[in-house]
Amino acid sequence: MIARIVAALLGWLSLASPVAAPAVLAPALWVARDADTTIWLFGTVHQLRPGTPWLSGAVADAFADSDTLVLEIVEPTPDEMAAAVVQVTPPRPTPLPGELDRRLRARAAELGFPRNAFDATAPWFAATVLAAQPLAQAGYRSDPAPETLLTTLAERSGKPVTAFETLGQQLGIFAALPQGAQRSMLERTLAERDPVPAMDRVVATWGRGDIVTLDRLLGEDMAEAGPAVRTALLDRRNAAWARTIAKWMREPGTRFVAVGAGHLTGPGSVQERLRARGVEVKRVR
């Protein structure tokens, strides 16, 4: 569950047979435009298996037509990632309850980490790393995913790459979660033994542009995660991004905005918040 949320919402980081992907994927794309401004909105998943063919058709045309690429965060280097994690990690994390600590140590060893690997980390960090590890073992990586590929193409063509947030701000969202919410994240991660089939379903649904089903899958996860997680990961950020995009609509130019697909589905989505601000947003068919 946590793996699905991270993969569909945040941009920083096979045990089962994968769901077959279409020959050519067609993820959903939206556009807001006026006489001299165009804003493309593209929902991403932050990890894919190599060879997943998603950049084609309307998405490829929209990106090629854009002046600027906008991401959640600019892709960090490994050193930048390590420094940012250290910055948001409390010097003396609150000890976990005994049973949860034992389960964490056992799962860490199962996945190839030292048993004490997470002794000095907050529960949110242990949860996200342990959720991501089975996906990595199943072949999921960031380099074939939209953010990395689009960044590479933008840099080759001299297209500016900007972001809504810094890495420190994004990690700080997790670090600021109440201890109870963080421990719940960790407990659910430890309970989900194999996140790969669920991730396969999310990627296949995303690739079909099936927003209704994707909203259901991610909405179930958010409901399970609780209101504190939804408020921190979705609601506040969607509202802030919509305010920024609405300001951009008063400036000439063409921007390609690529953010986690969960921000562009369901109640409170970026599009819904833009419409509330008087910005017309249409799905590109």
Q: Which tops the pLDDT comparison, 222 or 64?
A: 64
**pLDDT of 85-119, one tens digit each?**
889 888 888 899 999 999 999 999 999 999 999 99
The pLDDT value recorded for residue 16 is 34
Of 96, 75, 61, 106, give the one whose Cα is nearest residue 10. Answer: 75
Return the residue matching tokens 């990595």: 136
272 — pLDDT class (breaks 50, 70, 90): very high
**Lowest mean per-residue pLDDT among 13-27, 190-204, 211-225, 270-284:** 13-27
In 130-252, beta strands by DSSP E? 161-163
* pLDDT for the residue 4: 45
With a cut of 80, say whether residue 247 has pLDDT above it: yes
Q: What is the pLDDT of residue 193?
A: 83
Q: Give the model's confidence band at 24: pLDDT under 50 very low, under 70 low, under 90 confident, else very high.
A: low
**Residues pairing with 38 in the sheet:** 33, 254
End-to-end CA distance of the chain: 30
With cut-offs at 50, 70 and 90, classify the pLDDT of residue 1: very low
Q: What is the average per-residue pLDDT within 226-237? A: 93
Q: What is the mean pLDDT of the chain?
A: 90
DSSP conformational letter for 250: T
Confidence of residue 23 (pLDDT cuts 50, 70, 90): low
Bigger pLDDT: 16 or 93? 93
Q: What is the pLDDT of residue 41?
A: 98
Helices vs strands, H then E, count in the chain: 13, 6
Q: What is the pTM of this model?
A: 0.90
245 neighbors 279 (Cβ within 8 angstroms): yes
How many Cα atoms within 13 Å fall on the side-chain side of residue 29?
23
How do the domains of the chain map onto residue ranges? 2-88+120-283
DSSP code for 96: P
* CB contact at 8 A, 46 and 11: yes
